[in-house]
Structure 1
Amino acid sequence: MKLPLVVGVDGSGSSMEAVDWAVDEAARLGLPLRIVHASLWERYETRVPSFATDRPAEKIMADDIVAAGAERARLRRRDLDMTAGVVDEDAVSALLHAAREASALVTGSRGRGGIVGMLLGSVSLTVAARSVCPVIVVRGEERNRQGGYGRVVVGVADPTQSSAAVRFALREAEARGCALDAVRAWRRPAHEHVDHPLVVDDAAGVREEHASALLTDALAEAVREHPGTDVNRRTVEGPAHRVLQEVSTHADLLVVGARRRHGRLGLQLGRVAHALLHHAACPVAVVPQRS
């Protein structure tokens, strides 16, 4: 049985954009879709007088949010296998629990009350940092969200930290019928032999070659598993978060890894993933890598 793709809704425009993206993704991958809305209204139900006949306003709102998400999904893809419901938990707990039996989680970039142009919502950030399954935060302009560029990008760190992200990115590129751009950033030495430009150039060349070798190693095994997918390898000078933010402007999906350390509590996101979740110009997939 295939695990569902889970999308969280809260009634915001951003979460409805996430529903659109999740519907298309579920159809591409042949997965069932589960729409989830978190509400704690039932915990306070005892406060409603027993003689009351009207449903609590919180209950009405929760049901309406789920119904709106489900209707939007049906209008986009009527043949999709879909379920929808309200979960009696806070939003973060609901999504993290759903992640245990999900192929991936999908969220919007801002919750209700979010301001356009502001940073990522706290729910999406926390879920991306703690989920046991991949989390896709849907952001960017419509062309990026709707797959208008035909381009999936994966940011590659060291081979031991990137295998899960590379495999996820290759599956995405294969499902979309497009090539994968695998990008690794490298840095030119800033303070080495500043009085000898030739030495600096040699050092930069060595670092670029090292970055290229690491990129090849990180891709080797996963590429063999997807022989029909073209992979473009790129090494780019600059800070990784800035390099990937720039390439995201013409991408449909940007994939990065996040190391999950066993037994460690709290947010587990590196600087690069954290920055891209806030500033990337396209949807971002954070793929956990167990260490």
Structure 2
Amino acid sequence: MPTQIIVGVDGSAHAWRALDWAADYAVRHGRPLELVHASRALVDDGVIPKDALGRLVAEREDLLAEARQYALKVHPGLDVATRLDRTDPGGALVEGSEHAALVAVGSRGLGGFEGLLFGSVGLYTAAHARCPVLVVPREAPYPAEAPARIVVGVEDRPGESAMAGWAFEEAASRGAGILALHAVGGEFGSPRRRVMEDLELSEALAGLGEHHPDVRVEQLVSDRAVADALVEASRTAALVVVGAARRTGRIGMALGRVNHAVLHHAHCPVVVVPIDR
């Protein structure tokens, strides 16, 4: 059973904030934390002189050690390991996701060739990981200061129960409520359609409340476009949880247009949960 929580570390402000959220998640769920830094610049292929390569490796090891000390200062007793990989960052995080319960990345990093820049490494990780991926923007609050609400986008697709279940479990661990949001992307047209949409949303959540009776649930059927509704709801949320279907016969998830928009524009961390159709 996957246990560890993996977070990409590159020294950027976005990665430090991702570390805050990953460490908080690890503590609340009683899981070990692994800090990963990866770079193809560390490959000993003769391009970089030996002495310069040695200094570069030492620099990156110091970065991981500093991040580990920070995590332990905030969460004494947390099981924290580090890993330095001589490969591309996205590949290292995706490989680690095979044995992880969660992978966390900053929405942007140092940029350039090896930074955790969303749209390159962050996007690759979100699209190819085998486990849920937590994408944390720099402007996200510290976990303890986040609103006590988790938004989950419900589109009435097959397999969404796993995504909703993840959101409910996280809400229970945080003492937060759930906003289950279903957006139809246009006017309802008739009162009957509004009632039908409400009923379908209730059916999609059936049973989850029974397993988590202490989690407050609010349902919202919106006439806005899905991405717009989720981004707006993210203003008052700790997390936005979305689902991405696993690719048939291929590794990773099909993020789709809505998830791309939410990942780029949400005001809080976003969790992409793999779903099976």
The AA in structure 2 aligned to 1:184 is H
* Alpha-carbon spacing, 1:98–1:215, altered in 2? closer, same or farther (3 Å): same
* Alpha-carbon spacing, 1:48–1:135, altered in 2? closer, same or farther (3 Å): closer
The answer on 1:204 being equivalent to 2:202 is no
Q: Which has the larger radius of gyration?
A: 1
The AA in structure 2 aligned to 1:72 is Y
CA shift at 1:129, angstroms? 1.2
Distance in 1, matches of 2:142 and 2:72, equals: 22
Alignment of structure 1 residues 64-143 onto 2, 5 Å: 64-113=62-111, 120-139=118-137, 141-143=139-141
The answer to whether the Cα contact below 8 Å between 1:9 and 1:37 also exists between their aligned partners in 2 is yes
**What's the secondary structure of 2:126's corresponding residue?**
helix
Instruction: State the partner residue of 1:38.
Output: 38
Distance in 1, matches of 2:221 and 2:164, equals: 15
Distance in 2, matches of 1:48 and 1:230, equals: 56
Structure 1 stretch displaced more, 158-167 or 139-148: 139-148
Deviations 1:69-127 (A, max 9, x none): 1122112112101111202221111000000000010000101038xxxx834111111
CA shift at 1:46, angstroms? 4.5
Instruction: State the partner residue of 2:10.
Output: 10
CA shift at 1:53, angstroms? 6.2
Distance in 2, matches of 1:288 and 1:56, equals: 39
The AA in structure 2 aligned to 1:23 is A
Instruction: State the partner residue of 1:62.
Output: 60
Deviations 1:44-63 (A, max 9, x none): 255566xx667623212321
Instruction: State the partner residue of 1:258.
Output: 244
The answer on 1:281 being equivalent to 2:267 is yes
Instruction: State the partner residue of 2:255.
Output: 269
* Alpha-carbon spacing, 1:58–1:130, altered in 2? closer, same or farther (3 Å): same
**What's the secondary structure of 1:103's corresponding residue?**
strand
Give the count of matched residue pairs.
273
Instruction: State the partner residue of 2:26.
Output: 26
The answer to whether the Cα contact below 8 Å between 1:181 and 1:231 also exists between their aligned partners in 2 is yes
The answer on 1:249 being equivalent to 2:246 is no
CA shift at 1:136, angstroms? 0.4
Unaligned runs of 5+ in 2: none
TM-score by length of 2: 0.90
**What's the secondary structure of 2:240's corresponding residue?**
strand
TM-score by length of 1: 0.86
1:149 corresponds to which of 147, 150, 153:
147
The AA in structure 2 aligned to 1:77 is H
Identical positions, percent: 38
Distance in 2, matches of 1:210 and 1:144, equals: 39
Distance in 2, matches of 1:42 and 1:159, equals: 43
CA shift at 1:266, angstroms? 7.5
The answer to whether the Cα contact below 8 Å between 1:39 and 1:62 also exists between their aligned partners in 2 is no
Instruction: State the partner residue of 1:168.
Output: 166
Distance in 1, matches of 2:58 and 2:47, equals: 16
Distance in 1, matches of 2:47 and 2:136, equals: 37
Structure 1 stretch displaced more, 144-153 or 279-288: 144-153
CA shift at 1:205, angstroms? 2.3
* Alpha-carbon spacing, 1:73–1:4, altered in 2? closer, same or farther (3 Å): same
Indicate the RMSD between aligned Cα atoms, in angstroms: 2.3
CA shift at 1:264, angstroms? 3.6
Deviations 1:246-273 (A, max 9, x none): 0100111110001112214686112211
The AA in structure 2 aligned to 1:260 is R
* Alpha-carbon spacing, 1:253–1:217, altered in 2? closer, same or farther (3 Å): same
Deviations 1:145-181 (A, max 9, x none): 5443111110111141421210110011000012111
